[in-house]
Amino acid sequence: MTSPSDPGATPRPQAGATPPAPVGDSTRAIRAASRTPAVLQRPTSVPIFQTATFTSADAESLAAVVGDARAGYSYSRLSNPTTTALGDAYAEIAGGEAGIALASGMAAIHAACAAVLRAGDRVVAPLAAYGSTRVQLGQDFGRFGVEVELVDVTDLEVVDAALAAAPTRLLYAESSANPTTFVADHAALAELAHRHGAFYIADNTFASSHVCRPLTLGADVVVESATKYLGGHSDIIAGVVAGSADLIEAVSRVRTDTGAVLAPFEAFLALRGILTFPVRMDRHGQNARALASWLERQEGVERVLYPGLPSHPQHAVVERQWRPDNAGGMLSFEVAGGRAAGGAVIDTLELTERTASLGSVHTMVVHPPSTSQRQLSDEELLASGIRPGLLRVSVGLEDVEDLVADFERGLAVARGVAAATPALVDA
């Protein structure tokens, strides 16, 4: 790819005489403030190319760049160097041939799916998944005739039967499902998808590319909300996709045509987050493992779901396919006393953020039935493995002793609520 000043372009033909110097104040100000400095040394950080447009040497080279006949930049909805650097960085850490950055995780999921789906196609997707993804696949793609069958993707026989039931274009799964942390067996799902002639797309947001790499296990495309662990500081909304060069080219066309581009400043912040991503992930993993093991021993905690615990239903898959020493920063747990006791835990916690996101330096606790899965009915929640008292914790980078003390206070209050309202125990 040539630099933004397009040095590969043919020089503009000279008219002979030197062009007249601008005389008007406005012309002079515009020309003076638009001169980009020539930098011969490589900056240590990727610069923010905060520009909508790039100037070419002449009309012919602009046409060549816009038309993709020549590498380069013309207009930031098509491509921008800072955003391209983020896509390239993600490809490298996800183990993909190519990568691309988009306006959000949902934009990334949309572009990845739109790149492979056509009207009338059939998709097999998880019952347990991020609520907005279910809505996007079922309702938004559904309006264009895409049929979505929701199944338990942790049951490989069920997936096999669903793929065999009718020609299927796409199998979709989350490495660790939001909010239950149910783990997808990527190697087996990729093999099943390919045997039935389907693409396999994996959302790796919960696990992160430090902990699990779906592309190296056979997935065709991996998507991640870079809003979460890659950005890492809950100050941007961004999404990334990686896969083969051909598929990313198709994703790029959807991004250009829908305009779902990421702004250069957000791309810069995501790149800055990636600088410390593995270091942060190690601390997230240590803290989460310690908190999960502690929660499992507490009175009034009915179930802890953390992929790194031997009690997790898919722990064997985690042992085969995830980083051996790190099962990520996401866990869920259920307290006795159902919805009321769960609410009491959240309201008592003082060191954590009551917020609907995840993957940040801050520990974040949510009640999924009223936030990330709010689109689902009670029946759909239970079918997805989400009981009313389920709490989802994104374990941050605080000192784990402080987190344990905070949850100890929360659980004490929840036990009181559960004892005072026994009728709610099974609610």
User: What does the per-residue mask of binding to ligand PLP show for 112-141, with x meaning CB under 6 A?
Assistant: ------------------x--x--------
> Could you give the 3-state DSSP secondary structure of residue 223?
strand
Residues 98/242, Cβ–Cβ less than 8 Å: yes
- Residue 266 sits in the site that holds ligand PLP (CB under 6 A): no
Is residue 72 a contact partner of residue 254, using CB atoms and an 8 Å limit?
no
Nearest distance from residue 132's CB to ligand PLP, in Å? Answer: 6
Measured from the CB atom, the residue of 117 and 236 that comes closer to ligand PLP is 236
With binding defined as CB under 6 A, does residue 206 bind ligand PLP?
yes
CA–CA gap between residue 140 and residue 107 (Å, rounded): 12
DSSP conformational letter for 182: P
180 binds ligand PLP (CB under 6 A): no
Among 180, 208, 225, 360, binds ligand PLP (CB under 6 A): 225
Tokens of 38: 């020539």
* Shortest distance (Å) from residue 238 CB to ligand PLP: 7
In the set 203, 266, 334, 406, which binds ligand PLP (CB under 6 A)?
Answer: 203
For residue 386, the minimal CB distance to ligand PLP (Å) is 14
Task: Kindly tell me which residue out of 83, 104, 321, 384 binds ligand PLP, with binding defined by CB under 6 A.
Answer: 104
CB of 130 to ligand PLP, least distance (A): 4
Alpha carbons 67 and 64: distance in angstroms, whole number: 5
Candidates 64, 184, 215, 237: give the one binding ligand PLP (CB under 6 A). 237
* Residues in the chain, total: 427
Is 205 one of the binding residues for ligand PLP (CB under 6 A)?
Answer: yes
Residue 279, amino acid: V
* Cα–Cα distance, 39 to 56 (Å, whole number): 18
Binding segment toward ligand PLP, per CB under 6 A, in 103-111, 156-164, 302-310, 340-348 = 103-111
Give the binding range for ligand PLP (CB under 6 A) out of 45-53, 104-112, 141-149, 249-257.
104-112
Binding marks (x or -) toward ligand PLP, 355..374, rule CB under 6 A?
--------------------
Contact map string, positions 25 to 64, toward ligand PLP, x by CB under 6 A = ----------------------------------------
Is the separation of the CB atoms in 155 and 287 below 8 Å? no
DSSP 64-130: HHHTTSS-S-SBTTT--HHHHHHHHHHHHHHT-SEEEEESSHHHHHHHHHHHH--TT-EEEEESSS-
Q: Specify the amino acid at residue 367.
A: H
* Closest-CA residue to 214 (of 195, 193, 196, 233): 193
Instruction: Give every CB contact of residue 32 below 8 A, 6+ residues apart in sequence.
Output: none
Among 61, 74, 76, 178, contact with ligand PLP (rule: CB under 6 A): 178
The residues annotated as belonging to the active site are 77, 130, 203, 228
Q: Which is nearer to ligand PLP, 126 or 338 (CB)?
A: 126
Which structure tokens are listed for 265? 């400043």
Q: Please select the residue that binds ligand PLP; options are 239, 273, 369, 396, rule is CB under 6 A.
A: 239
Q: Considering the rule CB under 6 A, would residue 394 count as an interface residue with ligand PLP? A: no
- Per the CB < 8 A criterion, the answer to whether 241 and 223 are in contact is yes
Which tokens hold the place of 2?
A: 């040539």
Q: Is 182 in the site for ligand PLP (CB under 6 A)?
A: no
The CA distance from 230 to 369, in Å, is: 26
Mark the segment that binds ligand PLP (CB under 6 A) among 102-110, 194-202, 340-348, 388-396: 102-110
Query: How many residues form the binding site for ligand PLP (CB under 6 A)?
Result: 14
Torsion angles phi and psi, residue 243, rounded to 5:
170, -155
Q: What is the DSSP letter of 238?
A: -
Residue 406 binding ligand PLP, by CB under 6 A: no
Q: Enumerate binding residues for ligand PLP (CB under 6 A).
A: 104-106, 130, 133, 174, 178, 203, 205-206, 225, 227, 237, 239
